Amino acid sequence: MPTRILHKEVLIPGKTSKLVLDAPQIARKAQPGHFVMLRVCATGERIPLTVADANPQDGTITIVYLVMGKSTSMLDTLGQGDHIHDVCGPLGHPTHIEQRGTVVCVGGGTGIAAMHHIAKGHARAGNRVVAVIGARSKDLLLFEQELRLIADELLISTDDGSYGRKGLVTELLRERLEQDKDIFEVLAVGPVPMMAAVAETTRPFGVRTTVSLNPIMVDGIGMCGACRVTVDGKTKFACVDGPEFDGHAVDFGELRRRLAAFREQEAVAMQDWRASHEQ
Amino acid sequence: MNNKQLPRVDMPCQPAVERRGNFEEVALGYTRDMALTEASRCLQCKKPLCVTGCPVEVPIRDFIGHVARNDIESAYRTIKTTNSLPAVCGRVCPQEHQCEGKCILGKKGQPVAIGRLERFVADTHIASSACEQVTGANACARPLKQRKIACIGSGPSSLTCAGVCAAAGLKVDVFEALHEPGGVLIYGIPSFRLPKNVVSTEIDGLRGAGVTFHLSSVGGRTVDVAELLQDYDAVYIGVGAGLPIFLGIPGENLVGVFSANEYLTRINLGRAYDFPKHDTPAYRGRHVTVFGAGNVAMDAARTALRMGAESVHVVYRRTRAEMPARREEVVHAEEEGVQFSLLCAPVRFLGDAEQKLCAVTLQRMELGEADASGRRRPIAVPGSEHDMPTDLAIVALGTRSNPLLLKATPNLRLNARGYIEVDATSGETSIPNVFAGGDIVTGAATVILAMGAGRRAGQEIVRRFAD
């Protein structure tokens, strides 16, 4: 079903935008942790994107994307009032949220947007939320204001030190874990190396660590097995068993290799699109 | 008019050397002369056994009689009384195990080519009723009653149920999870075996009969059974098969190992054969291995050839006699250059330095005693391990039930295998007025069995709500 873009906010010019979509059917069911599958146009590829926010009253969902290849480049050409060719969801298991105490939500890059929805869920459930976000520099940091509204604490790091602590989110996380022994869960959404690093940081502390995985998907509804990941030595399908898994048990190396399986074709598609787009 | 001494009329096909390089339909269909000749072979039995072999009980003798008299429209209407998708069935049914398997002529010679005649009748009707297709008028449409039916999924069983209900004047809404209707007919069966326009024509026919399609609507997610029951008098669950079964051997998650579902979905639903005009890519392999020997395995093997593979090996642990695929598909695959490594089973997949698939270790098998399925059990020959180079492996072992709708519908009773339990005659589930059929009840089976289930449930729904 064509889905209308009600509002577009450019977060990082040419790279990342936030879209508010008119999707009442999805909004009434969407919970933190869910994702949608979308195709930008009739000849487009189905791609998964995490739901960054949902408002059942208004019938809207929010998605945030990073321009990576052809599909997201095409998506970035759309503006307010335009339609995405089809959007399907909500898919995946929602985040397991219960009132337990203090949770640390770590977000990196575009993953901060997805983490925001989960942090919001924890805050609503009455948990104390410590949000930790990081980016290469200040202008690449997303959702700071939104997180300030819901998090009890917001810790920020940038690689170049242009804002917050200079360094990686894992350093902030380690310090926090050393100070605070009551943290019941650490949750991470972001690039694969960042999620792997978070899992390694928490491992010595024995804190439950949940990561939200982003493997390649084709249908997203449990039919094809493209999104299989190895967790604790067993094959799982991220679309129906996940997308969240125990970060201490995920084979991140395999995930990274499988994410690169179509790199050559992705480059061809991107080149082809650039050539036709620049004419 | 009976000419039983005539030989069965062959189906013209694209030459194997040409077709292995394109996605056009392989079997070209009968001409009118061929159809009339073949129809004249039918004995017009008083008690036609062929009908008993058909899961939807097409009045086969009667439609063939119409063909023999060159009255193709009457033949079409006769088929349509029980079968809403004749152009599909004429192409993909395993006729040798069904109608044609029961044909008396088959006892001594060759049975009447019922499937080919059904296809001829459906195609001729579609070609001649082009105006009707364009205007959307449909002679079958009847004034709508107030009653509403929801079908979840839009594969063959749901489409059949929808067709039966719509023809009786019920308002039908179909909810499909993918962005295109047709289920396995679209994402699974390749266009060289079932052209996509054949499927879309049948679906347009249903639209003409008043069926509404809601796409990108996932049963158990976007819509669920309990909600639908508030708005609809009955719900039919035909969500099809789900998670692919893998071999469970080491190396299965290497880059280069795919389920047949993924490989075929990329190419059929995503049109990856037309990449980069369509954005979905397919993984290219020079030396392809396919594991399994059913119709899906044949589809995957023949698709890999068309995608430019230098060699394609179907690896199967039993022999040709036990292959579950439709005979015609095996013959077509072989003609096109697919090779068969029989009595072989995979042991492990091997990766190169970058952890991309480069070979598979196989071991030889021999057949022992018959197992529960009645087929002789394959037993590994000790010391027979050997490596076969391959850079694309496609696993076609079937599927398990899809958990999405089942988990969202906790009061739906399942059987021991995890599929939906239904009443054998009505197709009703443990929830009143909720029916189910097709692969989500039987496990992976054929298009026509799914249609049979859709028809039985549709008839029961009509009996309850339209009469």
Cβ-in-10-Å burial (0-12, 13-18, 19+) of B410 comes to: exposed
Q: How would DSSP label each residue in A140-155? A: G---HHHHHHH-SEEE
Q: For A120-157, what is each residue's pLDDT tens digit?
A: 999 999 999 999 999 999 988 999 999 999 999 999 99
- Quick check: A225 and B243 CB within 8 A? yes
Task: Report the 3 state secondary structure along B125-145.
Answer: HHHHCHHHHHHCCCCCCCCCC
Give chain B's contact residues with A (Cβ, < 8 Å).
177-179, 187, 214-218, 221-223, 241-244, 246, 252-253, 255-256, 258-259, 261-262, 265-266, 269-271, 275-281, 283, 354-355, 399, 402-404
Continuous segment of H or E residues that includes residue A240: helix A238-241
- Quick check: A218 and B179 CB within 8 A? no
Going by C-alpha positions, the residue among B27, B88, B81 that lies closest to residue B51 is B81
* pLDDT at residue B136, as a whole number: 39
A47 to each of A87, A88, A239, B216, how far by Cα in Å?
10, 10, 12, 13
- The alpha carbon torsion through B155, B161, B167, B172 (nearest 10 deg) reads -80
- B134: confidence class by pLDDT, cuts 50, 70, 90: very low
Compute how many other C-beta atoms are within 10 angstroms of the C-beta atom of residue B359: 20
Distance of residue B92 Cα from the nearest chain A Cα, in angstroms: 21
* pLDDT at residue A279, as a whole number: 55
What span, in angstroms and rounded, lies between the C-alpha atoms of A122 and A126? 6
Partners of residue A244 on adjacent β-strands: A212
Nearest CA in chain A to B283: A262
What span, in angstroms and rounded, lies between the C-alpha atoms of B64 and B51? 12
Decide if B143 contacts B113 (C-beta within 8 A).
no
Reading the block at residue A78, the tokens are 């759309």
Domains of chain A (ranges; CATH) run: 3-91 (2.40.30.10), 102-259 (3.40.50.80)
Decide if A30 contacts A51 (C-beta within 8 A).
yes
Closest CB to A230 among B253, B262, B279:
B253
Distance of residue B223 Cα from the nearest chain A Cα, in angstroms: 8
Residue B429 CA, chain-centre distance (Å), reads: 23
Decide if A144 contacts A133 (C-beta within 8 A).
yes
Mean pLDDT across B359-379: 89
Three-class SS state of B365: strand
What span, in angstroms and rounded, lies between the C-alpha atoms of A237 and A217? 10
* pLDDT at residue B144, as a whole number: 58
B336 to each of A148, B19, B266, B305, B332, how far by Cα in Å?
63, 8, 22, 8, 6
Residue B3 CA, chain-centre distance (Å), reads: 32
Closest CB to B244 among A88, A224, A230:
A224
- What letter would DSSP give residue B421? P
Closest CB to A223 among B256, B270, B402:
B402
* pLDDT at residue B289, as a whole number: 98
What span, in angstroms and rounded, lies between the C-alpha atoms of B351 and B365? 24
CATH of domain B132-242+401-465: 3.50.50.60
Reading the block at residue B89, the tokens are 């069935």
What span, in angstroms and rounded, lies between the C-alpha atoms of B292 and B444? 14
Nearest CA in chain B to A261: B255
For strand A86-91 and strand A83-84, is the pairing parallel, antiparallel, or unpaired? Answer: unpaired
Closest CB to A221 among B218, B279, B354:
B218
Q: For B242-297, what is each residue's pLDDT tens digit?
A: 889 999 999 999 999 999 999 999 999 999 999 999 999 999 999 999 999 999 99
Q: For B163-203, what is each residue's pLDDT tens digit?
A: 999 988 899 999 999 999 999 999 999 999 999 999 998 89
Partners of residue B351 on adjacent β-strands: B357
Decide if A83 contacts A4 (C-beta within 8 A).
yes
Using only C-alpha atoms, what is the Rg of chain A?
18
* pLDDT at residue B52, as a whole number: 94
Nearest CA in chain B to A217: B262
- B363: confidence class by pLDDT, cuts 50, 70, 90: very high
Closest CB to B215 among A86, A218, A258:
A86
Three-class SS state of B101: helix
Kindly state the percentage of chain B with pLDDT values over 90: 77
CATH of domain B244-399: 3.50.50.60
1.10.1060.10, 3.40.50.620, 3.40.50.300, 3.10.20.600: which CATH number matches B3-124? 1.10.1060.10
Using only C-alpha atoms, what is the Rg of chain B?
23
Among A74, A87, A224, which would you mutate to test the B interface (most chain B Cβ atoms within 10 Å of its Cβ)? A224
Question: Is residue B160 over pLDDT 70?
Answer: yes
* pLDDT at residue B16, as a whole number: 92
Decide if B427 contacts B435 (C-beta within 8 A).
yes
Q: pLDDT 10s digit of each residue in chain A, 279 long?
A: 789 999 999 999 989 999 999 999 999 999 999 999 999 999 999 999 999 999 999 999 999 999 999 999 999 999 999 999 999 999 999 999 999 999 999 999 899 999 999 999 999 999 999 999 999 999 889 999 999 999 999 999 999 999 999 999 999 999 999 998 899 999 999 999 999 999 999 999 999 999 999 999 999 999 999 999 999 999 999 999 999 999 999 999 999 999 999 999 999 999 988 888 765
Decide if B386 contacts B328 (C-beta within 8 A).
no
Residue type, A47: I
Range(s) of chain B covered by CATH 3.50.50.60: 132-242+401-465, 244-399
Reading the block at residue B268, the tokens are 């059929």
Q: How would DSSP label each residue in B299-323? A: HHHHHHHHTT-SEEEEEESS-GGG-
Three-class SS state of A47: strand
Residue type, A83: H
Range(s) of chain B covered by CATH 1.10.1060.10: 3-124
Sign of the Cα torsion B201, B205, B206, B212 reads positive
Average pLDDT of chain B, as a whole number: 91
Question: ipTM for the complex?
Answer: 0.94
Q: How would DSSP label each residue in B194-209? A: S-HHHHHHHHHHHHHT
Question: Is residue B215 over pLDDT 70?
Answer: yes
Going by C-alpha positions, the residue among A270, A257, A221, A47 that lies closest to residue B217 is A221
